[in-house]
Amino acid sequence: MPKLEAPGAGLPFFEMFLQKTVIFPMLCKITTFDSAIRIFEKESKLLLREVALIPVPLRDKRILVPRLPAIEDSSRFWSAAMVLEHLIIVGGQIEIVAQHLARGETPPGVADVAKVKPPGDLAGPACIEQYKIFSDDFLKTIRSLRGDQWATGTFNHPWFGPLTLHKWMCLAAIHQRIHRRQIEAIIRLL
C-alpha cells in the first residue's frame, strides 16, 4: 500500500489557488447550466465506454496513478470501479444539494472531501450498472431544475466556498471529466 496524504488534505497550495481563483470561476462564467448538463452527460457516456473496455476482474484492481490536476493525493490509488463509486457518491450528494437550492432551501449537512472517498464496495459488472443508473437519475433530476438554474441560494464547497445551483452543476460536469482522466490513467497502467 503506497503512502499517500490523508483524505481531505487538499491540493498543493499553488494548484488550489489557481483552481479557486482562476480556473473554476472562469469555467463557471463560460459554462451555461445547459452546457454543464451536456458535458456531464457526455463525460458519463465516455466513462461507461472506457470502463466497459476493462476486463471485469481488472476493474477492481487498484492502480497508483501519477499526480493528476485537481485530484488529491489520497485519491491516486483507486481501481476503475472505485472511481465510478466515488462519482456516484459525489454526484448523489450534488443532486440533493441542487434540489434544495432550486427550492430556495439550505441543503442539509456539510460538504466534506474526506467523506466522499469510495469504500470499495462496488465491484465487477455492478460498477457499470450502478453508475448508469446513477447517471440517468442525476440527469433526469437536474434537467427538471432548469427553470430554477438562476436560484441565488448557496451551499459551501470546502475548496471553492459558497456555490449557487449553476456553479454546483459546473462542478458536477468538470468533476466527471477530471475522473475520466483518472480512468484513462488507470487503463494505461493496467
Give 32-65 pLDDT, tens digit per residue: 999 999 999 999 999 999 999 999 999 999 999 9
Distance CA(163)–CA(101), nearest Å, equals 10
CA distance 126 to 93: 20
Nearest alpha-carbon partner for 175 in 121, 99, 111, 127: 111
Cell of 2: 503506497
Low-confidence ranges of the chain (pLDDT < 70): none
153 phi and psi angles, rounded to 5 deg: -65, 155
- Residue 155 dihedral angles phi and psi, to the nearest 5°: -140, 135
Euclidean distance between CA atoms 159 and 171, whole angstroms: 11
Residue ranges covered by each domain of the chain = 37-60+73-189
Q: Which fold has domain 37-60+73-189?
A: Four Helix Bundle (Hemerythrin (Met), subunit A) (1.20.120)
Q: What is the pLDDT of residue 1?
A: 84
CB neighbourhood size of 79 (10 A) = 23
Q: With contact defined as beta carbons under 8 Å apart, do 69 and 178 qualify?
A: yes
Please state, in angstroms and rounded to a whole number, the distance separating the CA atoms of residues 143 and 157: 22
User: Which residues are CB-neighbours of 190 under 8 A, at least 6 positions away?
Assistant: 54, 58, 61, 63
- Answer for the pair 111, 157: CB distance below 8 angstroms, yes or no: yes
Closest C-alpha among 54, 37, 51 to residue 130: 51
| Cα–Cα distance measured from residue 31 to residue 33, given in angstroms and rounded to the nearest whole number | 7
